């Protein structure tokens, strides 16, 4: 089994870099960073030149230098840049009445996602599918400790605090795959709490939302039926929901379309049947600290059946 955290992940995840912005907030932050870096680079060179000049001169410079270079110039530039960065902060987090609302809740160490919570309330996990060029308001919550939602290519980070809802309005720009990461230490597997962001063209997003609603895909292959039975018999539904099969389990990620995710275990492993089987048999080995029991008592055929069943849920 091959962890995702090797070089091949980058392609599969898309970028996780504030230096490759692809969202309104991230782009503005990037532009401001460039402006500040260039501007203060010039100031630095200028001050160093003055220093050399001062060393070389025999008579000290007059008060004029102190007033202009030491007081007026810093006041003007700092006020200008502060105004610009405040304006960017306000603009990049401004709410929008037309925005699509998505609830994202942090759990140790995974993400619960509900699209349009006041309407269709489509539940999913560990992946965020977004429309390009449309405002999306994320209502960020936590179920346990403080987490932080961060997709560097799309927007700045925002804390997820228990008992509070923090909203972040984002506007992804380019369709593609991006990577998000929990940015607040939240326990043993904090660095393994990541997720994929899939940005689709607006029409493709609407179609995705429509086809993803409803019950889990049900295929009548005998092996898959056995797998579904293992899922039910082993009580997986105490924590996991598969729409149309077992509803109400909320302590673990929704598995209605688990096989369609690119990764398993919130950005940890490639999604495939082998990794699913390894996960179910020995979670602690695949993700230390994960709040799921290991099912190492399952027989080989049971493990194969349940992992094949989950992989088929797309
Ligand atoms: C006590 C609650 C609990 C039970 C029971 C449980 N799980 Fe889990 N499961 C979790 C939690 C919590 C996670 C998320 C772990 C993480 O990523 O940190 C998880 C994650 C998973 C994932 C990965 C989902 C994803 O999006 O990557 C799969 C697959 C899974 N469980 C399958 C099962 C199966 C199959 C069973 C029954 C044999 C089962 N679980 C029983 C709590 C549970
Ligand atoms: Cu976290």
What's the predicted TM-score (pTM) here?
Answer: 0.87
Helix (H) or strand (E) holding 306: helix 300-312
Q: Is 197 helix (H, G, I), strand (E, B) or coil?
A: strand
Q: Return residues with CB closer than 5 A to ligand 2 (ion).
A: 147, 182, 186, 193
Which one of 126, 142, 240 would you pick to mutate in the ligand 1 pocket, going by the greatest count of ligand atoms within 8 A of its CB? 240
The alpha carbons of the chain give a radius of gyration, in whole angstroms, of: 25
Residue with CA closest to ligand 1 atom 40: 236
Residue 194 Rama label (left phi>0; alpha psi -120 to 50; beta): beta
pLDDT of residue 58: 63
- CA-CA distance, 249 to 242, in Å (whole number)? 9
What's the pLDDT at 14? Answer: 58
pLDDT at residue number 6: 41
**Measuring CA to CA, how many Å separate 83 from each of 74, 77, 129, 170?**
14, 10, 34, 21
Q: Residue 202 and residue 174: Cα distance in Å, rounded?
A: 11
Q: Where are the domains of the chain?
A: 24-93, 100-212, 222-312
Q: Is the beta carbon of 240 within 6 A of some atom in ligand 1?
A: yes
The alpha carbon of 309 and the centre of ligand 1 are apart by a number of angstroms equal to 14
CA dist 305 to 274, 283, 301, Å? 11, 17, 6
Same fold, 100-212 and 222-312: yes
pLDDT of residue 275: 94
Question: Which candidate, 2, 76, 86, 71, places its Cα nearest to that of 39?
Answer: 76
Residue 136's nearest CA partner among 183, 87, 103, 181 is: 103
Strand partners, 176: 199
User: Which residues make beta-bridge pairs with 125?
Assistant: 112
96: helix, strand or coil: coil
Terminus-to-terminus CA distance in the chain, angstroms?
22
Look at ligand 1, atom 5, and give the residue with the nearest C-alpha. 236
Ligand 1, atom nearest to 126 Cα: 26
H-run or E-run covering 169: strand 166-170
Ligand nearest to the CA of residue 227, numbered in listed order = 1
Contacts (Cβ under 8 Å, ≥6 apart) of 274 = 1, 307
Ligand 1, residue 127: give the atom nearest the CA: 26
- Ordered strands of the 136-142 beta sheet: 122-125, 110-115, 100-107, 136-142, 166-170
Instruction: Identify the DSSP state of 71.
Output: I
CB-based contact 104:142 (threshold 8 Å): no
Pick from 194, 292, 299 the residue to mutate for probing ligand 1's pocket: most ligand atoms within 8 Å of its CB: 292
CATH superfamily of 100-212: Cupredoxins -  blue copper proteins (2.60.40.420)
What is d(CA 243, CA 246) in angstroms, rounded to the nearest whole number? 6
From first to last of its 314 residues, the chain has per-residue pLDDT tens of 444 444 344 444 557 888 888 888 888 889 889 988 998 899 899 889 888 887 887 666 678 877 887 889 889 989 998 998 888 878 777 778 889 999 999 999 999 999 999 999 999 999 999 999 999 999 999 999 999 999 999 998 999 999 999 999 999 998 999 999 999 999 999 999 999 999 999 999 999 999 999 888 888 788 899 999 999 999 999 999 999 999 889 999 999 999 999 899 998 899 999 999 999 999 999 999 999 999 999 999 999 999 999 999 98
CATH superfamily of 222-312: Cupredoxins -  blue copper proteins (2.60.40.420)
Judged on CB neighbours under 10 Å (0-12, 13-18, 19+), 274 is middle
Distance of CA 59 to the CA centre of its chain: 59
């Amino acid at each position: 089994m091959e962890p995702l955290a090797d070089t091949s992940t980058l392609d599969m995840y898309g970028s996780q870099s504030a230096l490759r912005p692809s969202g309104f907030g991230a782009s503005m932050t990037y532009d401001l960073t460039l402006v500040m870096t260039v501007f203060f680079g010039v100031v630095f060179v200028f001050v160093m030149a003055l220093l050399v000049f001062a060393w070389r001169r025999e008579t000290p410079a007059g008060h004029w230098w102190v007033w202009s270079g030491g007081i007026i110039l810093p006041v003007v530039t700092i006020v200008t840049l502060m105004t610009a960065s405040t304006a960017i902060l306000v603009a990049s987090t401004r709410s929008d009445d037309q925005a699509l609302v998505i609830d994202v809740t942090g759990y140790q160490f995974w993400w619960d996602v509900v699209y349009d919570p006041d309407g269709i309330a489509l539940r999913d996990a560990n992946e965020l599918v977004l429309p390009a060029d449309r405002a999306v308001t994320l209502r960020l919550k936590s179920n346990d400790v403080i987490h932080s939602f961060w997709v560097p290519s799309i927007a700045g980070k925002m804390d997820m605090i228990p008992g509070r809802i923090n909203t972040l309005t984002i506007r992804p720009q380019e369709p593609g795959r991006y990577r998000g990461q929990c940015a607040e230490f939240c326990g043993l597997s904090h660095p393994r709490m990541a997720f994929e962001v899939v940005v689709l063209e607006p029409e493709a997003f609407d179609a995705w939302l429509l086809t993803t609603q409803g019950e889990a895909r049900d295929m009548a292959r005998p092996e898959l039926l056995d797998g579904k039975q293992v899922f039910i018999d082993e009580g997986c539904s105490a924590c996991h929901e598969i729409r149309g099969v077992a509803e109400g389990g909320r302590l673990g990620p929704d598995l209605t379309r688990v096989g369609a995710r690119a990764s398993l275990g919130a950005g940890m492993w490639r999604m495939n049947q082998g990794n699913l089987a390894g996960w179910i048999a020995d979670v602690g080995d695949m993700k230390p600290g994960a709040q799921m029991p290991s099912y190492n008592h399952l027989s080989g055929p049971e493990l194969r059946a349940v992992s094949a069943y989950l992989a088929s849920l797309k």
